[in-house]
Structure 1
Amino acid sequence: MPINIPKQLPAREILEKENIFIMDTDRANMQDIRPLNILILNLMPEKEKTEAHLMRLLGNTPLQVNVSLMYTATYESKNVSRSHLEQFYTTFEEVKNRRYDGLIITGAPVEQIAFESVSYWEELQSIMDWAKTNVTSTLHICWGAQAALYHYYGIGKYGLPQKCSGIYKHSVTDPTVKLLRGFDEEFYAPHSRHTDVSNEEIEANEEVTLLALSPEAGAFLMISKDERNIMMTGHFEYDTHTLAEEYNRDMAKGLEAQVPVNYFPDDNPANRPVNRWRSHAHLLFSNWLNYYVYQETPYEWN
């Protein structure tokens, strides 16, 4: 089934070239099915790239998905035009009286700042509290995962001596969990962050279950006891070249950027990276949409 997005959204052209199944609202309305309504709180600076990353994965399941985009009203991104936000995005104030089947909260380049010092922290807290009653399931990514662990469960983050950047091998801790159905016992996933969370704190918290971890990159996937919150500290949504773009950006700024681990062949940035996480990324999003959204959400919200 397709993903339903606006005709003029720039990500649409990218997805069409990749033969991702998408449709417009007119055709979607003719189908006699109940689509899933997914809200994406996009906290990433390059919003158009993140839109394409996430919609690529949301559009590869048997379910029809309507996607809405939201940004924080208390902080205006400097890397996207105001006209793009006004045309394709909404604010929390505009949607707080609605119900959604699923919510995605992305990462953000603020991980080295204390949560309470982030300009939109209070707004994000309001959104996460609202999601308890207005959203069936929420997927939190990277800093969004750390924010959820801190806000809901009191699990903080700590700084790393150097950036965790690269493709890391992970082990599944419980293959019977629905989110990991079809996963190999070991799989690869991208990480890109300066902070981490404590495995010990997660394992000691009765409200959170650790599902997958890496010896080098730490905890990767966690799920709340009620299965309504899923936290992913890495970036399954990244495409093949995203880490290379981040590395080249940092080098151009004169930063002491380290070559992403296990990413470029022979660790040579001149070589084209090979994608080793795409199939598991699609599987994770498919499992989330099916088992935690579609199978759990009411046909009619009331």
Structure 2
Amino acid sequence: MITLPSGLPAARILDAEGLTRTGRPGSGRALRIALVNLMPRKEATELALARLLAGGGCDVELTLVVPGSYAPRTANPAHLARFYRRWPQVRDEAFDGLVVTGAPVETLPFTDVVYWREMREIVTWARANAGSTLYICWAAQAALNINRGIPKTLLPAKAFGVFEQHVLAPASPLTMGLGPRFPAPVSRHAGVCETALAACGLAPLARSAEGGACLVDDPDNRAVLMFDHLEYDADTLALEYERDLAAGKPAHPPLMARPGWSWRPYAALFFRNWLDRVEACRALRPAAAA
């Protein structure tokens, strides 16, 4: 179950699905999760991630956040003003976990991203204060760079489609229930060097032949790095393909290892596993800090 900002369009949809909980924010023992949403389609991303968090077996209270220096090109400013809080407004609050999304800035050097200074601050704050942070796609590349000094590597061509991910660490709590392989949407221009990961004592928990590392656990930095997009809806890849065509960018239809919304049950399992970690981390905190 999940508590969302009052009036959020996603709340109406999830309420009809029986996934929302009414109540005053900050009450009860719900996990406080901050969603730092850097994706262009704000409402679609809110709905997709809120649905997965709501189905994770824990009560969740979700706070929507963007960096203070973030200036959207496509998002409705009124939507942001009503439902989102800026990072400087929340950085002194307590959150059990964070989710930081990808962003359409992969081809830029990190330091050219307008909100890079704040991104560094968010990652540093999360390392010290959150039980666990889930970084997705570009955010995973950014967190790895900030925490470990590992650069991203631009791919020869965009990795785009639904690819089979091979589970390399079946004993990890994060891959529990996923089986030996699972499908995941991939939509990125960059990846990470697995040799550089190994030099830092890290290794992929899952990877694909087409996109390389999919999932990496960095417990020393309280970071879970998901380089791909299990949170995507059934039509997200198709919409991205149409967007790229309309913009005149080189584009090919998404390559599909499996038909349909094949990754949905695996996404639900993965998010349940991650929320279990967040809950376990909160249980270990001293009572005065909880």
Same fold by TM (over 0.5)? yes
**Pairing 1:260–2:249 present:** no
Amino acid of the structure 2 residue aligned with 1:21 = L
Q: Helix, strand or coil: the match of 1:296? A: helix
1:301 aligns with 289
The CA deviation at 1:63 is: 1.0
- SS of 1:188 mapped into structure 2: strand
Query: In the alignment, what sits opposite 1:120?
Result: 115
The match for 1:269 is: none
- How does the TM-score come out when normalised to structure 1? 0.90
AA partner of residue 21 (structure 2): M
**Map of 1:146 onto structure 2:** 141
Q: Structure 1 181/132 Cα, relative in aligned 2: closer, same or farther at 3 Å?
A: same
Q: CA–CA distance in 1 between the matches of 2:24 and 2:100?
A: 28
Which stretches in structure 2 are left out of the alignment for 5+ residues? none
What is the DSSP-based 3-state SS (H/G/I as helix, E as strand, rest coil) of the residue aligned with 1:281? helix
What's 1:284 paired with?
A: 270
CA distance in 1, matches of 2:221, 2:248: 43
* 2:49 pairs with 1:23: no
1:164-205 C-alpha deviation (Å, 9 max, x unpaired): 010000111111111111111011100101111112211221
Give the structure 2 partner of residue 222 of structure 1.
216
- In the TM superposition, what whole-angstrom CA distance separates every residue of 1:63-97 from its partner, at most 9, and x where no partner exists? 11000010111121122222211211111211111
Written as runs of structure 1 = structure 2, the 5 A alignment for 1:72-83 is: 72-83=67-78
Equivalent residue for 1:270? none
Shift of 1:226: 2.7
Distance 2:250 2:25 in 1: 50
Answering whether residue 28 of structure 2 is matched by residue 3 of structure 1, we say no
Match of 2:228 in 1: 234
Flag the 1:26–1:135 CA change in 2: closer, same or farther, 3 A. Answer: closer
User: Against the structure 1 CA distance between its residues 163 and 156, is the aligned structure 2 distance closer, same or farther, given a 3 Å change threshold?
Assistant: same
Alignment RMSD: 1.8
- With over 3 angstroms needed to count, the CA separation of the structure-2 counterparts of 1:132 and 1:73, relative to structure 1, is same
- The alignment-based identity, stated in percent, is 39
Aligned CA distance change for structure 1 residues 216 and 27 (closer, same or farther; 3 Å): closer
Q: Does the CA contact (< 8 Å) of 2:67 and 2:88 recur in 1?
A: no
SS at match of 1:44: coil
Aligned length: 287
Please list every run of at least 4 consecutive aligned residues from structure 1 whose deviation after the TM superposition is greater than 4 angstroms.
26-29
Matched, 1:249 2:243: yes
Whether the 8 Å CA contact 1:3–1:23 is kept in 2: the answer is yes
Counterpart-to-counterpart distance in 2, 1:197 and 1:250? 24
When residues 20 and 164 of structure 1 are mapped into structure 2, their CA distance, relative to the original with a 3 A threshold, is: farther
User: Take 1:227 and 1:81, find their aligned partners in 2: how far apart are those partners?
Assistant: 34
Secondary structure at the residue paired with 1:164? strand
How far off is 1:227 after superposition?
6.7
Distance across 2 between alignment mates of 1:103 and 1:27: 17
1:259-298 superposed Cα distances (whole Å, 9 cap, x missing partner) = 11116x8xxxxxxx601101110111000101x2101113
Distance 1:13-1:4 versus aligned 2 partners, 3 A rule: same
Structure 1 residue ranges without an equivalent (≥5)? 266-272
**1:99 touches 1:134 (CA, 8 Å); kept in 2?**
yes
Contact 2:96 2:130 in 1 (8 A): yes
Contact 1:3 1:59 in 2 (8 A): yes
